[in-house]
Amino acid sequence: MTKTTVSIIIPTYNAANRIEATLSSIAAQDYENMEIIVADDGSSDNTCGVVENILKNSARDFKIIRHEANMGVSAARNTGLGAASGEYVVFFDADDLADQNFVSVLLKTITENDSDAAFCGFRFRFEDTGKEREVPVKLNLSRLYSAEELTVMYILKRIKPAIWSTIFKTSFLKTIDLEFTVGCRFGEDSEFLTKALSRCDLIHFSTGCHYIYVRHKDATSSITLQTLDKYLHRYSDSAEATCRAARYLMEHAESPKVRDVAMNFMLAKGLIETLNVAARRHYEAEFYRKLSSPETRRALLASHRFFFQKPEVFIKAAFLLIAPRLYFRMLSKPFKVRSKA
């Protein structure tokens, strides 16, 4: 029996009307030696039936694992990762697509360089118009970038790899004992990716845009942002994920540069966002409690070190330290939440 090389992990929840296109896209990959793992997170529709019907006719190895209750995308991805038998893993969203050579390009990139991770660019496809917008990897293929450089670039948003456009060496993830944070539903992907990149010895990339992120007309992100409470829940989850990732890097990253950007930029950014949530929710006591903590004050003061890279973070930090009452009043005013395009 041929050993599985790549495991494609797909977390899904009530995706019966969309997952057929996704699975067809994966089954059509030009790379043969892979398995498809669908981690169904307690769907109440016929997702599992649709998945089984498609995969039985796909001539691909597959596993379907079902949670009895909905536990969130992080738990589903962890379940898929635990069941993976491939030497490499890719996390794929249940409503997206990919070019036919997506897996083979990523596999070639990671194996040729014996990297711990490799990524490619992606495209946004707008379902209602069919139009696409590329998000390429804006790096020079003739240059050799260190894992340290690429991690810092990702944190500062100078490059935009995503969890679903990245391939990982399975043994690497298991060696560092990395999983998604269960309970976190927004920002969990960037938290995981930041942590993973910070522990890599080698990272490589392909400049092609081979993953297709589909922007649906009724996308969850658009619906979620239509109410203030749901918007703040999403924003809070993302802020806490940023703080967790920063603290993780401060403790585990071997690179002094990565620890520096985590301690003096990333943590400040995440803490500012948690303060914003408290102000938006009119939680005045919580706002001042968070602001007065030694960790918060140190991080806000230290953010001046990254003023020339990300001035907006230090400007907000200075505003918070100099005029906290005014900052709170400004953010606690009512505002209209716009739907995400």
Lowest mean pLDDT among 21-35, 156-170, 183-197, 228-242: 228-242
Strand partners, 12: 40
pLDDT at 219: 55
pLDDT at 198: 98
Task: State the greatest distance between any 2 C-alpha atoms of the chain, in Å, as a whole number.
Answer: 67
As for how many domains the chain has, the answer is 2
Residue 4 — very low, low, confident or very high, per pLDDT cuts 50/70/90? low
96 within some domain: yes
- On whether both 82 and 186 belong to a single domain, the answer is yes
Distance CA 151, CA 246 (A): 12
The average confidence (pLDDT) of the chain is 93
Per-residue pLDDT tens digits for 137-147: 999 988 899 99
- On whether both 326 and 199 belong to a single domain, the answer is no
- On whether both 259 and 151 belong to a single domain, the answer is no
Distance of CA 152 to the CA centre of its chain: 16
CA distances from 315 to 123, 157, 268, 304, 327 (A): 33, 18, 11, 9, 12
Per-residue pLDDT tens digits for 29-52: 999 999 999 999 999 999 999 999
pLDDT at 253 over 80: yes
Distance CA 328, CA 113 (A): 50
Domain span at residue 324 reads 227-332
- On whether both 85 and 182 belong to a single domain, the answer is yes
- On whether both 178 and 56 belong to a single domain, the answer is yes
